[in-house]
């Protein structure tokens, strides 16, 4: 995976990672029965996990050692509860990165000057 610049972090978090994690946390049993939706969301969570791992590596952070948060799962057990658990784990790891990150974690908007 390509290394992220720290100035890209705020926009990545706000516009890509947070919305996907929110969607994963709000999954319902009905949506979980749609195999295409679950496969797409699972792939997105795996991509977010690799991005977070890259950020942890760049910041010289160790990934969490708490086995309660580590929730790798075989393909056949991926579903409703796995998606919710994984999204909580990733959100906790992201929050840890934001707390320790030297870069601002809020998106930068252009400042408008008023005369």
Q: Cα separations (Å) of 18 from 36, 75, 81, 106? A: 21, 24, 19, 12
The domain segmentation of the chain, as residue ranges, is 6-100
Residue 56 contacts residue 62 (beta carbons within 8 Å): yes
> What is the band of 82 on the pLDDT scale with cuts at 50, 70, 90?
very high
Sign of CA dihedral 38, 43, 46, 52: negative
pLDDT, position 34? 94
pLDDT single digits (tens) 2-58: 555 666 777 888 888 999 999 999 999 999 999 999 999 999 999 999 999 988 888
Measure the CA angle with vertex 86, ends 63 and 4; round to 5°: 50
């Amino acid at each position: 995976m390509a290394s992220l610049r720290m100035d890209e972090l705020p926009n990545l978090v706000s516009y890509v990672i947070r919305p996907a994690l929110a969607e994963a946390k709000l999954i319902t049993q009905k949506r979980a029965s749609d195999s295409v939706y679950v496969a797409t969301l699972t792939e997105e969570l795996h991509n977010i996990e690799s991005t977070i791992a890259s950020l942890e590596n760049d910041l010289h952070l160790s990934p969490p050692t708490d086995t309660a948060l580590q929730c790798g799962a075989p393909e056949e057990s991926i579903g409703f509860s796995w998606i919710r658990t994984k999204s909580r784990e990733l959100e906790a790891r992201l929050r840890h990165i934001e707390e320790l990150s030297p870069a601002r974690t809020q998106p930068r908007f252009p400042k408008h000057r008023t005369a």
